[in-house]
Amino acid sequence: MTEISADPIRVTHNWGSNEARRRVKARYTADRRLQFYGIAAIGTAMALLAVLFTSLIHAGIAAFTTTKVELDIFLDPAQIDREKPAKANYRKLVRGAFKSYFPDVKSRSQERQLYGIMSNGADYILRDYVVGNTDKIGQTVKILVPVSDPFDQLYKRIIPRRIDALSIDRIALFNALRQQGVLSVVDGSGVVRTTVYVDPGKVPSEGGLEAADYDAMVKEGLRSLFLKEYSRSYEEIVSDAAAGKLKALVAADPSLVGKTIDVDLPLAANYDNLLQTGQATMRNPRFSSDDEFVWFDSLEARGLIANPFSWELFFNADSRFPELAGLMGALSGSFLALLVCFLLSFPIGIATAVYLEEFAPKNRITDIIEVNINNLAAVPSVVFGLLGLALFLNTFGMPRSAPLVGGMVLALMTLPTIIVATRAALKAVPPSIREAALGVGASKQQVTMHHVLPLAMPGILTGTIIGLAQALGETAPLLLIGMNAFIPSIENIGLTQPAMALPTQIFSWADSPERGFVSRTSAAILVLLGFLIVMNLIAVYLRSKLERKW
Amino acid sequence: MQQLPIGATKMLSTVKPLLAETAAETKITARGVSVFYGEKQALFDVDVDIPKNSVMAFIGPSGCGKSTFLRCINRMNDTIPIARTEGTITIDGRDIDDPELDVVELRARVGMVFQKPNPFPKSIYENVAYGPRIHGLANSKSELDGIVENSLRRAGLMKEVHDRMNEPGTGLSGGQQQRLCIARAIATSPDVMLMDEPCSALDPIATARVEELIDELRESLTIIIVTHSMQQAARVSQRTAFFHLGKLVEESETTTMFRNPSDQRTQDYITGRFG
Amino acid sequence: MLSYLLLALLVLTIAAYYAGLAKARAFAAATGHHKSHHSLAGYHGAFVAAWAGIPSFLLVVLWLLFQGPVVDQLLIVSLPVERLQDLDAGQLNLLVSEIKSVAKGNIFGTPDEVVLAAAERYNSWNGIASWAMVASALSLTVVALFVARSMLAPRFRARNHVESITTVLMITCSLIAILTTVGIVTSLLYETMRFFSMVSPLEFFFGLNWEPQIAMRSDQVTAGGAFGAIPVYVGTLLIAVIAMLVATPIGLYSAIYLTEYASDGLRAVVKPLLEILAGIPTVVYGFFAVLTVAPAMREFGELLGFSIAPNSALAAGGVMGIMLIPFISSLSDDALNAVPQSLRDGSYGLGATKGETITRVLLPAALPGIMGGILLAVSRAIGETMIVVMAAGIIAALTLNPFEPVTTVTVQIVTLLIGDTEFDNPKTLAAFALGLVLFIATLVLNVIALTIVRRYREQYD
């Protein structure tokens, strides 16, 4: 240090030089670059949020209406017993009414396809209608029943009638084959003539011809057809039956092993379609014949198809059929679980927070409790599910899938949120209020009950609502205690009855293969988000309107 | 602890005989009162006698322990977890630490008014009614109304608020708020009133109003007022105690204290050399 | 019956309140002056009500919790010895459930004599237990009511007693937090110990093969299934790393821009929007991954000529990253805001640009806080369940390729336990061992993170 001060070098800097100006400019560029990164980051986050919401709304909006067909049904007193209206054969009535629209449909298989347009639940809808309106027996009534899922999706333009069977490079692949002249139609189905080496190396010593890898032989043969590598998509050109055909040939003539043979392998359906019709599209496999489109179009032309608001989405129980599945079971289950959660976590959370904040002596035990609460807030939710499963279900033998147990687990998870919020709200009450009350001779508990808690209540309620909103969206712990039971009726609703919750309903619908469940799931999510938004708005309102600023 | 006659009070650094000019009855007696906040001692061995139906002022530089001692008298220090009190304080000869005496009863009998007006965020009526209600002082609504009105009248606030009893107490002006707090304290019919710099947040006119009130209340109450204003102490009190660095330096008739202090530190303080 | 009992207890408690109130009013009237008694009449009422209501309510709760297990034990003890021989724990459980279902009246086939007799005993014991509960709860209430009422006197300190009871209640509530932790730790430890009695810990911690789903017959409890959890841990870490790679830059740069550059108007818009992102339930993110992100990635991959699995680690991790953006951004926000203004002023005073101040002064100063936030986010990422359950794989493949499906600890816990409640095979118990690992890992991460953040805050306080 002394050396430096002993040798004072004056650094002069010419701020006006070009060099210096350039440097300043570069520094500003760096600044702008950082700003740009910031804007890009925020832009990305906002864009992702937008994509999330648009894709959910786009997919979910369709589920808020249900495509229905109008039926004229004569409620034949000969078939419906007025005393026991629930017992009649409504399937027959519904089908009869539907069939009357298409008098020229005769064959059994065609009839089956025709009835497939209607939802499976049509008979129950009629039954429920008749049970509720026994005075209508003997009259002809107009009743709307939902169409089955594929037609619902078709009417809403979610799925097309025809789908692209082949992508552009697959069509190129097909054209390459056609130029080689190996494609032909034999007995009404398209085949590709392929040279196959029946490789003895692929015939295992154990199992023999039966266990040979014909699939690999077919693939080898197909590869030889192509000079150019078309990734591996050339393997899809033959149908699944190709290996079987080869196997049958070899089984019929075991001497073929070790030889190279030409064999006509059956084309896959989409290539077959392209070869025979010249079209690169095919009928959507969700529909079983083109007749169905004709019938459906005719219903539409006659004005019998309607697309009203789907009350079913809110008031039906769960169902395996997407057009009938509703959220009533999930909503009631979530409501009950949240009720239990609130009744437990609200008083316990407030009592804990009040004790720690207002009464507890500062010692090791209260320190441990505090650390504990902070750590509980960070325990993964699935661990709470494990606790519920091991303790509530296994040790205490409480009922599985019940909102009571779900609510208890959620209460344990919500407790830290409520405790933290309550303590913050209690801290915000100025000490002068406490002193004033103590000064007139109120006991500590009277101070808390009469003054501090009422003043902290808006903050506590805000925290509680936020905690309950989190609990409403919580899924994993409910899965573990079985609150994803399939409950196709809403007759048995109770704290100890098996139930579903809104998020677990979303989970199980998301897992279902039917196309209609995609929009059902999105719609359920929109309902869930709607509830969350309302709860958060209430919390924001409470915070802004009722919370005092001291 | 045996009660010592006024004038024989043991002083800390200097022993100075005090002549009792008025042979008033003693209301509060403190002997050997020390207060610790954790490790730190805030008040050292205070002995003092406070006569009945008079105003005693505690003066001294900030942090000198005058408020700490005041808060001992209604055991408000109990509410601070790290605070620890030693020594004895008696009111009318009764030890305030007597386990038979409930602290809430003590605080009802020893009213307190704070530095900053702190009305409850409730109506004016509810502010005053709160004390009588929790102590069960009224058997009926009309009795309670009577207590509230009487307290507000004694606090000189009745005329200003009689037509807006249900409006929030926080809506009043600062001076009115402080008088509301006094009314609230009076409502439990205490016989001692502790005032911790009650005028420090008020303007001069409001201060004059409160000082008048203190003088009126003296007829029925023993009042102890902590103040940083020596003028105020001179105006309202009969006796004054000077605290310095946690010790009671001197206690005497107010006129004596200001004209002829016996301790050099008191002299320095009242002449403005420090504080 | 339970609801009637609770209703009766409630009615008796209210009655007790009025009994106390009436007695207190009576002696208040007798002595005339109100100051002569200690507490308000209401406290006398509350005192009697608390003693009448609380002990019997606790009795009912405890009774309900333990009646089931106790009756089960009695049932097992009462079964003939020859029937219990050669039964392992699983078969015994089965027998007990059979007896219970017969007792409920769900009789399938023709149960044997022993089962029928046991079912009858079971029903009668449960009946006896229920009536005993009603009788003891009601008599306890009535006795407590009269004893408590007889204690009332003008100078009786009812308020102090009621406040002590309230304090005890509050302490009890505070202990629930501790009990929850104790419950988590003991249940995880207990089931993990049982798991390790069937599967060696060495295999579990270091094995490379995870195939717990193999169907097991009763005679090969440990023969089938492989429980080497390394692939599961690797998958968990892979997805967490991907999530952090998405969340950290976006979250951190957003925080920098919002705290240092953005106008108040922009902040007022962006912050609530980020909060929305934070408030979306994870099941929604999971569905978003399946519905939108995974197909988009697949198509993008096809465009570039390589295949991305529909349940690739990239899709699951990426969506988890989106979920963590608001988390990182708000914690970094806090850390940056905690840097004192004086440091900024010092830097600006030297003529530094905003960007230089941020990168050279603010970020280094806020680094511990930001690191703490990132660690908390990692802990969230490895504990996150629904996104991976819906969007990641189930098969445990030991790979670091983000385009391949991998599985995670939480996925395994959920898939192992869905629809299975028999706690007698390593498959279900493995879930608890994984749960214990997860609990410890997140706990350690949180403790470290919170310590860093606290030290950092203290530095500037």
In the structure encoding, which two tokens stand for residue C80, read together?
A: 């003939």
Q: Do B107 and A438 touch (CB under 8 A)?
A: yes
Confidence class for position B100, pLDDT limits 50, 70, 90: confident
Over residues C69-79, the mean pLDDT reads 83
Decide if C28 is inside a domain: yes
Q: Do C175 and A397 touch (CB under 8 A)?
A: no
Decide if C206 is inside a domain: no
Residues C259 and C141 in one domain: no
Last residue of one domain, picked from the residues C134, C156, C178: C156
Decide if A367 is inside a domain: yes
Question: What b/e string do you get for C106-132 counting C-beta neighbours within 10 Å, with b at 16 or more?
Answer: eeeeebeeebeebbebbbebbeebbee
Domain housing B188:
8-17+24-270
C222-225: Cβ within 8 A, 24+ apart: C222/C198, C222/C426, C225/C426, C225/C427
Virtual torsion, Cα C198, C203, C209, C213, nearest 10 deg = 20
Decide if C174 is inside a domain: no
Q: How far apart are CA A313 and CA C324, in angstroms?
A: 32
pTM score, whole prediction: 0.83
Q: How far apart are CA B167 and CA B140, in angstroms?
A: 22
pLDDT given at position C220: 44
Q: How far apart are CA A278 and CA B87, in angstroms?
A: 109
pLDDT digits (tens, 9 = 90+) for B221-242: 999 999 988 889 999 999 999 9
Distance to chain B for A441, nearest Cα, Å? 4
Residues C320 and C426 in one domain: yes
Kind and range of the H or E run holding C188: helix C158-198
pLDDT digits (tens, 9 = 90+) for B171-182: 899 889 999 999
In the structure encoding, which two tokens stand for residue A185, read together?
A: 């139609």
pLDDT digits (tens, 9 = 90+) for C361-377: 899 889 988 999 999 99
Decide if B3 is inside a domain: no
Q: Specify burial of residue C345 (Cβ count, 10 A radius: 0-12, 13-18, 19+).
A: exposed
A389 touching C (Cβ < 8 Å): yes
pLDDT given at position B69: 93
Residues C140 and C236 in one domain: no
Distance to chain A for C82, nearest Cα, Å? 27
Domain housing C29:
2-156
Q: How far apart are CA A326 and CA A201, in angstroms?
A: 57
Confidence class for position B125, pLDDT limits 50, 70, 90: very high
Q: Specify burial of residue A361 (Cβ count, 10 A radius: 0-12, 13-18, 19+).
A: exposed
A382 touching B (Cβ < 8 Å): no
Over residues C136-158, the mean pLDDT reads 89
- Cβ-based contacts under 8 A for chains A and C: 265
Decide if C170 is inside a domain: no
How many C-beta atoms lie closer than 10 Å to residue B164's C-beta?
13
Domain count, chain A: 4
Over residues B154-162, the mean pLDDT reads 88
Mutate to test the interface with B, among A367, A440, A446, A457 (most CBs of B within 10 A): A440
A269-278, B43-52, B219-228: least confident range? A269-278
Main-chain phi, psi angles of B166, to 5 degrees: -100, 5
Main-chain phi, psi angles of B45, to 5 degrees: 50, 60
Confidence class for position C77, pLDDT limits 50, 70, 90: confident
Over residues B23-44, the mean pLDDT reads 87
Distance to chain C for A257, nearest Cα, Å? 35
As separate numbers, helices (DSSP H) first and strands (DSSP E) second, chain C gives 18, 2
CB B74 within 8 A of CB B110: yes
Distance to chain C for A447, nearest Cα, Å? 12
Last residue of one domain, picked from the residues C116, C138, C156: C156
Residue-averaged pLDDT of chain C: 86
How do beta strands A189-197 and B192-196 pair? unpaired
A342-346, A457-461, B6-10, B222-226: least confident range? B6-10
Decide if B1 is inside a domain: no
Residue-averaged pLDDT of chain A: 87
In chain C, residues with a C-beta closer than 8 Å to the C-beta of B134 are: 40
Domain housing A521:
328-546
Q: Is the pLDDT of residue B164 over 80?
A: yes
Q: Do B136 and C160 touch (CB under 8 A)?
A: no
Integer CA distances (angstroms), A239 to A230, A370, B50, in order: 18, 66, 109
A401-405, A538-542, B11-15, B174-178: least confident range? B11-15
CB B57 within 8 A of CB B237: yes
Decide if A372 is inside a domain: yes
Q: Do A442 and B130 touch (CB under 8 A)?
A: yes
pLDDT digits (tens, 9 = 90+) for A356-395: 999 988 888 888 888 889 889 889 999 999 999 999 988 8
Contacts of residue A549, Cβ cutoff 8 Å, sequence gap at least 6: none
Confidence class for position B22, pLDDT limits 50, 70, 90: very low
Distance to chain B for A358, nearest Cα, Å? 10
Over residues B121-135, the mean pLDDT reads 90
In the structure encoding, which two tokens stand for residue C114, read together?
A: 């022993």
Confidence class for position C319, pLDDT limits 50, 70, 90: very high
Confidence class for position C33, pLDDT limits 50, 70, 90: low
Contacts of residue C167, Cβ cutoff 8 Å, sequence gap at least 6: A355, A359, A445
Last residue of one domain, picked from the residues C156, C171, C197: C156
- Cβ-based contacts under 8 A for chains B and C: 14
Match 């002596």 to its residue by tokens. A361
How many C-beta atoms lie closer than 10 Å to residue A51's C-beta?
15
Of residues A68, A71, A133, the one with CA closest to residue A99? A71
Residues A519 and A454 in one domain: yes
Residues C22 and C121 in one domain: yes
Q: Is the pLDDT of residue B121 over 90?
A: no
- CATH value at residue C301: 1.10.3720.10
Ranked by mean pLDDT, the top range of A218-232, B9-23, C274-288 is: C274-288
Over residues C59-64, the mean pLDDT reads 90
Q: Is the pLDDT of residue B19 over 50?
A: no
pLDDT given at position B195: 93
pLDDT given at position C50: 92
Residues A59 and A72 in one domain: no
Residues C40 and C144 in one domain: yes
Nearest CA in chain A to C318: A48
Decide if C290 is inside a domain: yes
pLDDT given at position C214: 55
Decide if B2 is inside a domain: no
Residues A99 and A153 in one domain: yes
Over residues C28-44, the mean pLDDT reads 72
Decide if A448 is inside a domain: yes
Residues A522 and A438 in one domain: yes
Residues A154 and A178 in one domain: no
Within 13 Å of residue C79, how many CA atoms lie on the same side as its CB? 22
Instruction: Give the chains touching C; criterion: ≥3 Cβ pairs < 8 Å.
Output: A, B
Residues C232 and C381 in one domain: yes
pLDDT digits (tens, 9 = 90+) for A462-502: 999 999 999 999 999 999 998 888 888 888 888 888 899 99
Q: Do A451 and B187 touch (CB under 8 A)?
A: no
CB C452 within 8 A of CB C371: yes
- CATH value at residue B59: 3.40.50.300
The more confidently predicted of residues A326 and C93 is A326
Contacts of residue C327, Cβ cutoff 8 Å, sequence gap at least 6: C247, C251, C278, C373, C376, C377, C380
Q: How far apart are CA C226 and CA C219, in angstroms?
A: 16
Domain count, chain B: 1
Match 């007696």 to its residue by tokens. B29
- DSSP three-state, residue C213: coil
The more confidently predicted of residues A180 and B113 is B113
In chain A, residues with a C-beta closer than 8 Å to the C-beta of B109 are: 441
Domain count, chain C: 2
Decide if C430 is inside a domain: yes
pLDDT given at position B128: 93
Q: Is the pLDDT of residue B141 over 60?
A: yes
Percent of chain C with pLDDT over 90: 45
Residue-averaged pLDDT of chain B: 85
Beta bridge partners of C210: C227
How do beta strands B192-196 and B222-226 pair? parallel
Instruction: Report the residue from A35, A396, A475 with minimal CB separation from C257.
Output: A35
Residues C270 and C128 in one domain: no
pLDDT given at position A513: 81
Q: Is the pLDDT of residue C384 over 90?
A: yes
Residues C139 and C267 in one domain: no
